[in-house]
Each structure stands twice: as structure tokens, then as C-alpha cells.
Structure 1
């Protein structure tokens, strides 16, 4: 799923009357039920000795006993907001804050010199270093997270751990790591090309033309796409004309083999791109977009593609053969632990934690194609990859073949990814109402065009993630699973719920089992839904024709599920071990988002979002029956120590208390609004 595009709002696992009985009846009613009765009602069978009543107060943990706790006299009162500020108000506050003493210029802070900024008085940020240091809050406990990278801290005086920077002298003699920690950064020059709509997508456009999807509009695109590229072509932007220039020799086969040298690509006038085919013609509105096409000498036409003739997708009798799905380098999913793309929580620091605990395959958060094509930096940040992610994919979401195919070609060229996944399962209204996500399950013709156009534009393997269907009781994956490999998909993930179900009810694994036997022998089928223990994993892997199972909410609640599957055991993890995992996440977050004040608060925000899932874990030693199921609702209970009790709290204020142990007290203006209700066990931010 994408970041910031919308949130899920699924139904309840229990009927309203059952849920109110659970809340109002307290744990006295829970203690009177047997283990089997509790499990039948999807209530966690916690041992009676650990149950507590709603009126009991949680213990106040001694800050000094948790290793990295803020001083109690400096701890501010945490606030949990139930309302969100408007975007206009947030923008106004940001503009005012830029010139305040709190926002020191990065160049000045890094060099600790007021004259270090190249913009001088024209800089939008504050240059008063003394005023900044005077109002800067005390350093946080611990050491600068960048010391582990053996590189100087990029935040200098602005770092909340600047007091430990003298330790860098001890590292001066150590060799620096040559490899970049994070890959797939958006190049500024390419972002400007996207902003000006000057990017060209030769492979995608040629594939769209061959499928009859592209080419209608005010000015007809070239009819001839049978073009042979006889030399390697390079492109550059002409600063004077702002046109894209192509260097290389092109042979037009339909014009007596005429050779054109150094063809120039210029921006064409507005054209209309329509989605062709069956039911989609009526509901697909005309969408005007500026395209770029090659200009050729009179009485000639053609399509230019980067690379050599063997890479140029063409059509007609003389068409060159593109790479088929069988010829591409495939990703072997068999038996591997695959962490699903998880919006908001499945960020790069979280994926680093998953890799540390045993994940084999990771995937970035869902990114919207339209935002990527517009060069939005926040959306491109979802494609970031840490070098520890040795098998990494990205997930994109779009409504039309042209946007998805062009986005995929752009990602393959600009980023290092092992596969690209198309989201056909996102249930949120904002995405579905635009014709993307689960909506594509109601438009099989368009879905086919998207997969074919995208696969034909890539050398990278293409995978697809779907739900069983759009409407409950009307499953549809069985209608196309036998053909989707021929369309170009190398793997298909099936989530065992419909869009209408969202995350209510238990995943229908029987349907996944039956559907997997209808797939082509060369198609890898993956199952997804409600895996929360190694026994769940073993059961699903052995019961059907599945290559592997995708792990989603189970990993959010207990990321050590990956270790449990690897080691085939139920891990009764202690609160100290869980807290160590949280500390690793915070360290990775500070390295990713920054160790200055802004980076600390960004890390705190995403940590709180993760804790809103993580608190649902019930320690193995407290259960009457194991393993815990994903849909079990825990009663109020005490842990085996104060920290375990605090981690079990469903109060957002207690999650903030946990964040204070590692990131210190939040600023006075701090507020946190959970993205989903803390007790909504059927809601999750993954597509």
C-alpha cells in the first residue's frame, strides 16, 4: 500500500453485542469460561493468575531500570490527540518554524560554522548558531547512531547525541565502508525531468502501442513502430530547448531501410490516452497527459527505444521478440520467508529488524504510480532499500496500463530492485474509487492489459498480489489464475479475503488451496492471511501447491515470528528481549530519518504506529493454550514484570511512555493520533 493515500476501515471480528459484553463484563466473566469456550469466542485464554480488572492502574516503571530512560524531572506530559490539524495549518506552522532558532541550517550545523552555508542571507533557514545551541534540549541518553556506520554524523551540532561525537576520533583510523547504507535515492536531476513532464518511456509506450492501448488523441502518434536500433542510444536534456535528445542511428524498416542519425525527441502537444478493451471503454474517462514522441524527417515515423535492437519491443511481421516471462531472471520464492509490503509500519527500519530476525524476502511499502511519475520525493522514499536486503522488491499501485507500465520501466531504470509487484488487493476507499487496488478485480480486461503492458516493459520479474474477489461470496481469482502467467506474471499472491471483507473474519485458506491447483506449472503461487505461528506456516505450506506464504500482520505484532518459523519453536520471548528489538528499531530509525530533532520525532511517530500493533502480543507463558491466534482478543492482564505489563497496554499514552525511554520526552507541541483503533483486530495497513 502507499503512504498517505488512505487508511483501512474494516469491520469487527465480533458482533457489537459480543464486543460490548467483552468490554463491560470485565475479566470476572472471562474467568468463568473454559479454555475451549474462550477460544470458540475468539478470546485469548490468559491464565487466571494474570487477569486484572479495568479499574487497576498500570505500574509506574522506574526509568533508571530500563537502561535508556529520560530523567523523571525532565519528562513532559504526553498528549494523545484525537483530532488532526489541517494541511493548511501544518504548512503555515512549518513556514514560521523555518526561521525560528529551532531550525538551524543543515550546512551551518554540520560544519559548526555560520559561514558554511552557500546561500548566505538567501537561505530559508536560521543561521544563528548561538541561539540554536541556547534553546537546544539536553542530549538524549546513548551514543550517536551514526557511530555504528563508521562515518561522521551528517547533522553535526543539530544531532541530539552531539555530546558523543568526540568518539569519532577513535574511529578515524578505521576504514570506512565503501558501500552505501541505503540505495534507490531519487536523483535530483531526474526529479526535475519528472516535474517538467519530460521523461520518456520508450519500452512502455512501444508495448502499449503493440497492445492497441496507446495512440488515440488530437495528434496521432507514429503508426510505424517497426524500428531497428543499430547502435547504443544515449539521452540528454538540451538546456536551451528543454528537449530530450537521442544519440544513435535508427533504421526505419518500413521506409526502405532509411537511416536517421541523432533523432531528437521533443515534447508533443497534449494527447488523450484511452484504455481500450470491452467494459473499460465506458467507465474510463479521457485523461489528457503530455507525452514525448520522436520527430523524424518528412514522410517517416518511428519509435525509438533505448538499447540495442534485441531490446526494442516492436510489432508486425518484422517485430523483434521481447523477453518472455520464461526468459527473465526469476525470483525463487519457494520456502522463503517473505515479509509483505506494509503501509506506514513496513518502512526501511522495520524491514532491517525483520532481516535481523530471519526474513529472506522484503518488499517496500505500496507506492502510487501517479505520485511516482510526478516526482514526489515522499513517494520515492518508499522505494529505498537497505544494503542488508539482499532480495528486495517494490509494490506499485495504479489504475491504468499506461501509468503502471511507465512507472515500472522508470523504477527498473532508476532503482535496484529484484522484482516489481502490482497491488490488486488494496481495499481502502481512496484507492478503490480511483480504479486501482481491489477495483481491478471487477475489470478483468483492464487487469490483463496492465499485466501484459508492464511485463513487456520490464526485464525484471513481475509479480501480482490479489484478494479472492471484490464482493463477498463472489470470488474471481480462479477465472484468471490459469492465464496470468501467460500475461507475464511470474508469481501470484492470494490474500484469503475479499475486498468487502477487508480484514474481518478468518482468511479462507481452503479457497487458496483449491485455486493454487488451477495455476500454470510455471507460476509460483503464494498464500497470505492470519499466519501467526510456525504451526500455521507448516500447515499451509504442506496442504497446497504453494511456493511460500506471505507474512503481514503477524510480523507487525511479533516480528520474532520469523525466528520461530526458522527454528520451528514457540518462543516465550521476555520483555527485555522485546525491548531490545524496539531499541534496534529506534537506532535504525535515527540512521534513516535523522538524529536531529526532526528525525527523532519522525522516529517516535513511526515507533508509536508500530507499538499500536505490537501490544497485541500475549506472552506464551501467560496462555492456557498455545499458539496464539491472530484474531484472539486479549483480556486485561498483568505481565510477569512491570515492563511486560506496560507493553501489553492498549493505551496510546502508554505507548508514548515507551517511546520516552529511548527518545526522551516529546516536545511541548507533541501529539499522536493512531492511524487505526488500537482494539480493531481486523484492521491493518497492508494491501
Structure 2
């Protein structure tokens, strides 16, 4: 597959741009585990043109990350055009426009998914960005604002007509936020259209190799974007690829892999952001890295409260000593206990 001059596998796996998650340290561990195309966190166009430090830092990309796209959001034509020029000059492979963010302080101010309520303006912004960028322009969007205003068919056609070279569709409306079930039937309808010829990637609810293969076969997408399922579990990309190739599930990562990947993530975070901020921003990842570990809460509390890099490493060593030798048996025991509890609950109903 090609997007402009960007060469990708026949069915690429993409890492979703997630605010306060998809930074270079997180992208590093995902890249090691097989993701094919990544995007930065979404970057405020206003922040870029005003040279805001936080927005400028999000432009940081490293050679190992390529191919990578820089994603921007905003609601003003000229501001988005200027911000796109700044992003394009940073030399990514792609410039991506966010028309899907549902959060109130973005969408309700007319940016992100808010532009699904004004398709002519969305089209104008996109057209100007395509004109200014030397690199391919892609888009991430949603089905529509709510169930009564699903306009993804018109949005995709308008975007393609002004030169967008690939579109990722999160199969929810803005009003759904991240709740309910992603309805990929809409994406399948887009893929069936004879007048749509650019790659269409699906996003939403892909959290296992089995579901990835099911949705690949059922909805006919050109690739998949994975977001929340990769937080604390970057191995999902290698697991999905292995399942596609063999029909068999890879064994889950060993406990040592979890520890080493968490340490690698932490180390990069501290080196890139400095010790104080790097430690602070790792706190959201510990629960996911050590999901299902019984009696992990006291360790998590200590990890979140630890003020220095060396203290965090010491706690991770304690975690390793406690769980390394019987990790799988503990997980199996917890899963069996939860299964019994679920049966008892259902019988009680």
C-alpha cells in the first residue's frame, strides 16, 4: 500500500494519536512491537502558530519512528493552514487533520469532531492544508455528530475530492464519546462505494487478535488503527500480525518483558521530558502494564507517589521479585476466581 510516496504493508496497523499518551516514549515501545504507522498526539494549531512550548515539543519525531504523521486540530482556516505549514516543515511522512476528537473543549469550540457539523468549512480547511503541504495529507474523523446526523458518506467524498490521501474512521459518533459499540457497518459502506478510491482505515474497539481478524474480513477495510488497547500493552501489534499470518495466538508477554518494557518506557520518558515531568506522565501507564496482577494496588500507589527515577526503579525491582516466579499461575488463579464470581453473580440474578 502507498499513501503518496509512503510505502506500507498490504494491511497496515496504525497507532492512534492519543492526547497525553502517544508521545515518543510510548511510540518507541509500540514501534518495537510491530506497529506500521504512528501519529503524534494531536497538536493545537493555535499553539503551533503562537510557538507554545507544549505544542512545539509535540513536533519531536525520531528516525526510528518513521513513517510517522503529525496530527493537528483547530477551527480556523488560516490558523490551520499556517500550522500545517509548520508541521510539514518538520519533515514527517504525513500531515494528519483531526476531525474526530469528541472532548468538550475541542469539539464544542468547533474543532475536532465539531467540524462534522460544518462540512463546507471542514472541506475548506482541508483544501488549504492540501495546497500548502508537500507531504500527503490524511484525516481522522468520526461517523457524525450524533445518531441523527451521521454524515460520514458526504464527509469522506468531500475530503477525497480536495486531495486527502487516506482517511481513518472511528466508528462512533461524537455524542457517543468512547461509550457504546463502534459500528463498523458504516465503514463497510464507504469501502463498497465505487467512487471512493483512497485507503480507508477502521478504528474503534479493536482489542484482540481475534476481533482484528474478524473485522478485517467482515468490513473490508484497508488497515486498522488501534488506540486504547495498546496502552500498557504494545504487544497487541505483534499479536495481531501473528494471528493474521498463522491463525494462532502468541503467548502473552512474559512478566520479565512487562517489567523491561515498562522500564524502557520510563527511561525514555525521563530522558525526553526531564525527571519530574517524565515520572509524572508515566503514572497513567502502570495499571495497564501490570493489569490483572493480584494485590498490585499497594505497588501502584507507591509507583504513583514516588518522586524520583531511582525510587521508581527500586519499586519495579520489588514488583519483579514478588511476581516474576509465579506470574502466570497468579494470573490464572485470578481469572478463575473472577469467573466463579461472575457465575455466582449471574445465578443470584
TM-score normalised according to structure 1 size: 0.42
Alpha-carbon deviations, 1:473-519, whole Å to 9, x = none? 43110123233212110011110111111011121122222222237
Is 1:656 matched up with 2:336?
no
Q: Distance in 2 between matches of 1:419 and 1:589?
A: 24
Change (3 A) 1:377 1:612: same
Q: Distance in 2 between matches of 1:333 and 1:527?
A: 16
Counterpart contact for 1:393–1:418, Cα < 8 Å = yes
1:438 aligns to what SS in structure 2? helix
Is 1:645 matched up with 2:321?
no
Match of 1:420 among 81, 88, 95: 95
- Greater length-normalized contact order (CA 8 Å, ≥ 6 residues apart): 1
Change (3 A) 1:332 1:490: farther
Is 1:539 matched up with 2:214?
yes
Change (3 A) 1:544 1:661: same
2:265 aligned residue = 585
Q: Distance in 1 between matches of 2:154 and 2:38?
A: 29
Counterpart contact for 2:9–2:36, Cα < 8 Å = no
Counterpart contact for 1:519–1:525, Cα < 8 Å = no
Match of 1:501 among 171, 176, 197: 176
Matches within 5 A, 1:401-550: 401-413=77-89, 415-518=90-193, 520-550=195-225
- Give 1:443 deviation, angstroms: 0.2
> How many aligned residue pairs are there?
307
2:95 aligns to what SS in structure 1? strand
Is 1:371 matched up with 2:51?
no
Alpha-carbon deviations, 1:316-340, whole Å to 9, x = none? xxxxxxxxxx995355464122111
Q: Distance in 1 between matches of 2:151 and 2:136?
A: 24
Stretches of structure 1 lacking an aligned partner (at least 5 in a row): 1-325, 594-598, 619-643, 666-687
Alpha-carbon deviations, 1:512-553, whole Å to 9, x = none? 222222374431100001111111111122223311000100
- Give 1:354 deviation, angstroms: 0.7
Q: Distance in 2 between matches of 1:490 and 1:577?
A: 37
Counterpart contact for 1:331–1:461, Cα < 8 Å = no
Stretches of structure 2 lacking an aligned partner (at least 5 in a row): 244-248, 316-349
2:56 aligns to what SS in structure 1? helix
- Give 1:656 deviation, angstroms: 2.3
Which range is displaced more, 420-429 or 509-518? 509-518
1:344 aligns to what SS in structure 2? coil
Q: Distance in 2 between matches of 1:475 and 1:655?
A: 43
1:576 aligned residue = 256
Is the helix fraction higher in 1 or 2? Answer: 2
Match of 1:386 among 49, 55, 62: 62
- Give 1:343 deviation, angstroms: 0.9
Change (3 A) 1:357 1:533: same
2:279 aligns to what SS in structure 1? helix
Q: Distance in 2 between matches of 1:483 and 1:514?
A: 16
Change (3 A) 1:395 1:551: same
Task: Select the structure of larger CA radius of gyration.
Answer: 1
Q: Distance in 2 between matches of 1:375 and 1:441?
A: 28
Change (3 A) 1:518 1:480: farther
RMSD: 2.4
Q: Distance in 1 between matches of 2:76 and 2:149?
A: 24
Q: Distance in 1 between matches of 2:305 and 2:46?
A: 38
2:231 aligns to what SS in structure 1? helix
Alpha-carbon deviations, 1:290-328, whole Å to 9, x = none? xxxxxxxxxxxxxxxxxxxxxxxxxxxxxxxxxxxx995
Alpha-carbon deviations, 1:154-189, whole Å to 9, x = none? xxxxxxxxxxxxxxxxxxxxxxxxxxxxxxxxxxxx
Match of 1:397 among 73, 78, 91: 73
Counterpart contact for 1:328–1:459, Cα < 8 Å = no
Counterpart contact for 2:102–2:177, Cα < 8 Å = yes
Change (3 A) 1:435 1:612: farther
- Give 1:651 deviation, angstroms: 8.8
- Give 1:610 deviation, angstroms: 1.8
Match of 1:567 among 239, 242, 245: 242
Q: Distance in 2 between matches of 1:327 and 1:386?
A: 20
Matches within 5 A, 1:83-162: none
- Give 1:410 deviation, angstroms: 2.1
- Give 1:612 deviation, angstroms: 4.5
- Give 1:463 deviation, angstroms: 0.5
